[in-house]
């Protein structure tokens, strides 16, 4: 295919990765990002082996391994010490782990890798898109295009998604989270995601996420679950009362909680959506990342999916003779992978974030034993690592990735 002129709306993980891969293939790329000074929102995330495979493809895996924190175990318990979740990547394959990363660290890696051929327009809020003509209009009233291809990479609250046509589902989750980064200090579980639950109404998480280029000191990503309708009530209650509640729920982590900011504004507020557009592409418009498949972060897959979307799209454009067949190929491949994750996260989220007492009891009784049964154990590990495809299929991991992960990380 001849080089295309491509517009990307949104410079989050999906937009960043797509801009790198498409520019590398010789396409002329223009990015439109609504904020004036782009940067990541939130604290940290867990990158799964599938997402690491895309960083390998981009030549950024070694840098990510330098900065991030290998996370080998996912562990959750109740205040009395009863284990609810206990999964280790090594049970799937000995060399596997997840990589905890600061959002800034990944943003900076991807941003630094861009080439001068990519044109970045910041403070460019895309208001409308003409999918047939491939034209955009930004909030300042300017028209852009026509482009051969427009990517909607504008995240879970995507405005461009509407131009794809009817939606199968598009609703906010009633629960969200507060999150921030904290110093590791004497926290002992430096290679584990640790969670503490009480019912499904309380959940605290601590995820090691390593450092970033400009500040190597390792951090923990802290999160606290709550209904989005309670954000204001939480702020009004004040930090001392909240800290007391945290300490009572998880006394072993009170040294970490001491470092929480004094000002509630020091915590970012996260909300999530469940969005399933009927079509992922229409005319010259195509969705990538959360714009195509917003889901709850319960399974920690959104960044991986965004990276995998970008790679699948650039592969499809290389393999197919024209844009339309490439978009069909991209959507078919990615939907096969993403669908099962949307389903699982929709079912699992109320077990961890809801007011359902009976569901939480059932979870406390059954989650761990079920995840240890021979069949479901393989299944849950494969879901965790991002390799589940459909109900029983598996996505193979790149042998070069497996080889790299057997070598010393730094
Ligand atoms: C609390 C929480 C924890 C999470 N934990 C994990 C985890 O552990 N692992 C994991 O893999 N994923 C996790 N995720 C999910 C992950 O953050 C998202 O799936 C991922 O960031 C999606 O990337 P994206 O590029 O599609 O969207 P975004 O990162 O949201 O980027 C969208 C970009 O588009 C821009 N934009 C929006 N509208 C417009 C417009 N109209 N015009 C121009 N620009 C626009 C925005 O400013 C933004 O820069 C978590 C999410 C949350 C909320």
Q: Please report the domains of the chain, with CATH numbers, ordered by start residue.
A: 5-172+271-406 (3.50.50.60)
- In the numeric block, the tokens 């959002």 are attached to 103
| Residue 272, ligand 1, Cβ within 6 A | yes
Once rounded to an integer, what is the mean pLDDT over residues 38-42? Answer: 82
pLDDT digits (tens, 9 = 90+) for 93-133: 999 999 999 999 999 999 999 998 899 999 999 999 999 99
Give dist(CA 306, CA 58) in Å, integer: 14
- Closest by CA to 164, choosing from 181, 152, 154, is 152
Best residue among 129, 205, 277, 290 to mutate for probing ligand 1's pocket (most ligand atoms within 8 Å of CB) is 290
The whole-chain average pLDDT of the chain stands at 95
| Residue 309, ligand 1, Cβ within 6 A | no
Best residue among 7, 9, 10, 150 to mutate for probing ligand 1's pocket (most ligand atoms within 8 Å of CB) is 10
| Residue 30, ligand 1, Cβ within 6 A | no
Give dist(CA 152, CA 115) in Å, integer: 21
Q: What is the model's pLDDT at position 307?
A: 98
Least confident of 33-42, 207-216, 235-244: 33-42
| Residue 155, ligand 1, Cβ within 6 A | yes
Give dist(CA 292, CA 152) in Å, integer: 8
Q: What is the model's pLDDT at position 3?
A: 95
Report the separation in Å between the CA atom of 42 and the middle of ligand 1, taken as the mean of its atom positions: 9
pLDDT digits (tens, 9 = 90+) for 133-143: 999 999 999 99
pLDDT digits (tens, 9 = 90+) for 335-375: 999 999 999 999 999 999 999 999 999 999 999 999 888 87
Q: Determine which residue's CA is closest to atom 30 belonging to ligand 1.
A: 155
Report the separation in Å between the CA atom of 51 and the middle of ligand 1, taken as the mean of its atom positions: 15
φ/ψ bin of 26: left (φ > 0), alpha (ψ from -120 to 50), beta (otherwise): left
Q: Which atom of ligand 1 is nearest to the CA of 38?
A: 49
Of the chain, the percentage scoring pLDDT greater than 90 comes to: 91
Burial class of residue 334 in the structure, from the number of CB atoms within 10 Å of its CB (0-12 exposed, 13-18 middle, 19+ buried): buried
Q: What is the model's pLDDT at position 380?
A: 87
| Residue 175, ligand 1, Cβ within 6 A | no
| Residue 147, ligand 1, Cβ within 6 A | no
Task: Report angle CA 91, 94, 98 to the nearest 5 degrees.
Answer: 80
Give dist(CA 348, CA 363) in Å, integer: 10
Instruction: Using alpha carbons, list the distances in angstroms from residue 396 to 147, 328, 337, 385.
Output: 35, 22, 12, 11
Q: What is the model's pLDDT at position 42?
A: 79
Q: Is the pLDDT of residue 41 over 90?
A: no
Q: What is the model's pLDDT at position 374?
A: 81
| Residue 277, ligand 1, Cβ within 6 A | no
Give dist(CA 54, CA 60) in Å, integer: 9
Q: Determine which residue's CA is closest to atom 1 belonging to ligand 1.
A: 270
3-state SS record for the chain: CCCCEEEEECCCHHHHHHHHHHHHCCCEEEEECCCCCCCCCCCEEEECHHHHHHHHHCCCHHHHHHHCEEECEEEEECCCCCEEEEEEHHHCCCCCCEEEEEHHHHHHHHHHCCCCCCEEECCCCEEEEECCCCEEEECCCCEECCCCEEEECCCCCCCHHHHHCCEEEEEEEEEEEEEEEEECCCCCCCCEEEEEEECCCEEEEEEEEEEECCEEEEEEEEEEEEEHHHHHHHHHHCHHHHHHHHHHHCHHHHHHHCCCCCCHHHCEEEEEEEEEECCCEECCEEECCHHHHCCCHHHCCHHHHHHHHHHHHHHHHHHCCCHHHHHHHHHHHHHHHHHHHHHHHHHHHHHHCCCCHHHHHHHHHHHHHHHHCHHHHHHHHHHHCCCEECCCEECCCCHHHHHHHHCCCC
Residue 72: Cβ within 10 Å count: 14
- What's the chain's Rg over C-alpha atoms? 21
| Residue 98, ligand 1, Cβ within 6 A | no
Task: Report angle CA 358, 359, 360 to the nearest 5 degrees.
Answer: 90
Q: What is the model's pLDDT at position 40?
A: 82
Give dist(CA 373, CA 87) in Å, integer: 12
Q: Is the pLDDT of residue 410 over 80?
A: no
Give dist(CA 232, CA 363) in Å, integer: 29
Tokens of 350: 């109320």
Q: Which residues make beta-bridge pairs with 206?
A: 194, 222
Report the separation in Å between the CA atom of 194 and the middle of ligand 1, taken as the mean of its atom positions: 23
| Residue 77, ligand 1, Cβ within 6 A | no
CB 106 within 8 A of CB 66: no
Least confident of 107-111, 207-211, 234-238, 296-300: 296-300
Once rounded to an integer, what is the mean pLDDT over residues 155-164? Answer: 96
φ/ψ bin of 151: left (φ > 0), alpha (ψ from -120 to 50), beta (otherwise): beta
CB 30 within 8 A of CB 22: no
Least confident of 3-7, 257-261, 389-393, 403-407: 389-393
Q: Confidence band (pLDDT; 50, 70, 90) for 255?
A: very high
pLDDT digits (tens, 9 = 90+) for 264-282: 999 999 999 999 999 999 9
Q: What is the model's pLDDT at position 117?
A: 85
Cis peptide before 337 (omega within 30 of 0): no
- Closest by CA to 147, choosing from 159, 135, 161, 163, is 135
């Amino acid at each position: 295919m001849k080089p295309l002129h491509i517009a990307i709306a949104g410079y989050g993980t999906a937009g960043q990765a797509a801009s790198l891969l498409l520019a590398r293939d010789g396409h002329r790329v223009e990015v439109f990002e609504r904020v004036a000074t782009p940067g990541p929102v939130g604290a940290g995330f867990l990158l799964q082996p599938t997402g690491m495979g895309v960083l390998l493809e981009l030549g950024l895996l070694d840098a990510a391994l330098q900065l991030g924190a290998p996370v080998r175990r996912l562990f959750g318990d109740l205040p009395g010490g009863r284990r609810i979740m206990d999964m280790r990547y090594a049970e799937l394959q000995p060399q596997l782990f997840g990589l905890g990363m600061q959002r800034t660290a990944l943003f900076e890696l991807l941003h630094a890798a861009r080439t001068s051929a990519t044109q970045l327009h910041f403070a460019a809020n895309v208001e409308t898109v003409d999918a047939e003509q491939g034209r955009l209009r930004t909030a300042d009233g300017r028209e852009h295009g026509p482009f051969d291809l427009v990517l909607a990479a504008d995240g879970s609250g995507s405005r461009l998604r509407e131009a794809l046509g009817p939606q199968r589902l598009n609703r906010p989750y009633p629960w969200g989270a507060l999150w921030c980064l904290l110093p590791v200090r004497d926290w002992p579980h430096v290679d584990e995601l640790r969670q503490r639950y009480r019912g499904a109404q309380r959940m605290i998480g601590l995820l090691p996420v390593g450092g970033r280029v400009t500040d190597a000191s390792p951090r923990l990503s802290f999160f606290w679950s709550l209904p989005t309708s309670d954000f204001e009530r939480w702020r009004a209650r004040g930090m001392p009362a909240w800290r007391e509640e945290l300490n009572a729920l998880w006394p072993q982590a009170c040294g970490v909680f001491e470092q929480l900011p004094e000002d509630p504004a020091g915590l970012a507020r996260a909300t999530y959506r469940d969005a399933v557009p009927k079509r992922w592409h229409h005319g010259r418009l195509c969705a990538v990342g959360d714009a195509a498949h917003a889901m709850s972060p319960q399974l920690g897959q959104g960044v991986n999916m965004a990276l995998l979307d970008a790679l699948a799209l650039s592969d499809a454009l290389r393999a197919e003779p024209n844009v339309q067949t490439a978009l069909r190929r991209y959507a078919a491949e990615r939907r096969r992978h993403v669908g099962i994750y949307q389903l699982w996260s929709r079912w699992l989220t109320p077990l961890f974030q809801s007011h359902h007492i009976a569901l939480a009891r059932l979870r406390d009784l059954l989650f761990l034993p079920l995840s240890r049964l021979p069949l479901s154990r393989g299944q849950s590990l494969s879901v965790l690592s991002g390799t589940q495809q459909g109900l029983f299929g598996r996505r193979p991991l790149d042998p070069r990735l497996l080889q790299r992960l057997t070598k010393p990380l730094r």
